[in-house]
């Protein structure tokens, strides 16, 4: 599943190619994504200039000069990429966009859990998919206070996976950040010390920044918009390393399942008590 670093990598590869270019036409080949795409979804954007592409959590926001913004979420298996106009479309290509003097942009998604929408710029923050999102983990607003202020009795991994607290953190990066900070994934969030929250916030920012620098993590089929894999998988410290020795203390890494997602941790470095 593409997470924040992968989405950011796609943004960074598409933006320089497309900004300042005009959307000439679009084509919907399959409208049944997570929500059905209306027939004329992109019509208000035809002829409009793309000003910039920004990101909020795992949503890509395409800002056009007509005061409209296109939202794209890649779901489980979505991919945005570039093709030459003469190239035959690969299977599962559901939408294409043709920009002036640019490669053809496609949206491909075998599992069709992705979403695409177009909204007025003024109403962007009220969009049901965006309005509940928590702080951006790489922004200055994400501080140890963000974690200290969360109420309730939940374990720290569940809190970090909650997009209403922090936007767009994924399972891989939460596992890695908890390991880096030496915090057991099942620790109660309300029992973390201020120093631990500080270390955890620093670890999250560091893991995400390095993952973006390395083009994201390719585990199965993730590719950036140029078709390149990400190389952060080579830097993973705990994720996917069950029974392999911890890189800090040699203790075998353990795997458990929390809320249906794999959790990897070192029982020695990430003590529960």
The catalytic residue positions are 2-3, 58, 261
What span, in angstroms and rounded, lies between the C-alpha atoms of 192 and 155? 10
Among 248, 254, 255, 261, binds Zn ion (CB under 5 A): 248
Q: Is 272 a residue that touches Zn ion (CB under 5 A)? A: no
Binding mask 205-244 for Zn ion (x = CB under 5 A): ----------------------------------------
Smallest separation, CB 270 to Zn ion (Å): 7
Nearer to Zn ion, 36 or 271 (CB): 271
List the one residue out of 222, 221, 253, 217 whose CA is nearest residue 235: 217
Among 116, 246, 263, 265, binds Zn ion (CB under 5 A): 246
In this structure, what DSSP letter does residue 118 have? E
Nearer to Zn ion, 26 or 237 (CB): 237
Q: Is 266 a residue that touches Zn ion (CB under 5 A)? A: yes
First to last CA, the chain: 32
Instruction: Please report which residue ranges of 47-129 form alpha helices under DSSP H.
Output: none
- The residue with tokens 């296109």 is 70
Among 24, 76, 132, 249, binds Zn ion (CB under 5 A): 249
Smallest separation, CB 191 to Zn ion (Å): 21
What span, in angstroms and rounded, lies between the C-alpha atoms of 39 and 43? 9
List the one residue out of 108, 72, 75, 105 whose CA is nearest residue 90: 108
Nearer to Zn ion, 212 or 238 (CB): 238
Q: Is 70 a residue that touches Zn ion (CB under 5 A)? A: no
Q: How many CA atoms lie within 13 A of 268 on its CB side?
A: 10
């Amino acid at each position: 599943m593409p997470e924040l670093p992968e989405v950011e990598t796609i943004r960074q590869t598409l933006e320089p190619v497309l900004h300042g270019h005009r959307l000439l036409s679009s084509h919907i080949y399959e409208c049944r994504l997570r929500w059905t795409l209306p027939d004329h979804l992109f019509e208000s954007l035809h002829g409009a200039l793309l000003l910039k592409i920004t990101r909020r959590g795992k949503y890509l926001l395409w800002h056009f000069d007509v005061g409209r913004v296109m939202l794209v979420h890649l779901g489980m298996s979505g991919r945005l990429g570039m093709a030459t106009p003469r190239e035959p479309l690969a299977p599962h290509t559901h939408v294409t966009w043709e920009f002036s003097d640019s490669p053809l942009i496609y949206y491909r998604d075998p599992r069709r859990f992705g979403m695409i929408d177009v909204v007025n710029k003024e109403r962007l923050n009220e969009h049901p998919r965006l309005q509940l999102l928590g702080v951006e983990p790489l922004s200055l607003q994400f501080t140890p206070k963000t974690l200290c202020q969360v109420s309730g009795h939940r374990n720290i991994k569940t809190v970090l996976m909650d997009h209403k607290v922090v936007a767009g953190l994924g399972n891989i990066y939460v596992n890695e950040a908890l390991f880096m900070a030496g915090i057991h994934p099942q620790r109660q969030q309300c029992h973390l010390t201020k120093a631990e929250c500080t270390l955890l916030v620093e670890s999250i920012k560091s893991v995400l920044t390095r993952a973006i620098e390395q083009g994201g993590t390719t585990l199965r089929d993730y590719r950036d918009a140029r078709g390149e894999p990400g190389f952060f998988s080579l830097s993973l410290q705990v994720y996917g390393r069950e029974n392999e020795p911890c890189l800090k203390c040699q203790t075998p890494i353990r795997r458990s399942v929390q809320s249906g997602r794999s959790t990897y941790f070192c029982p020695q470095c990430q003590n529960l008590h």
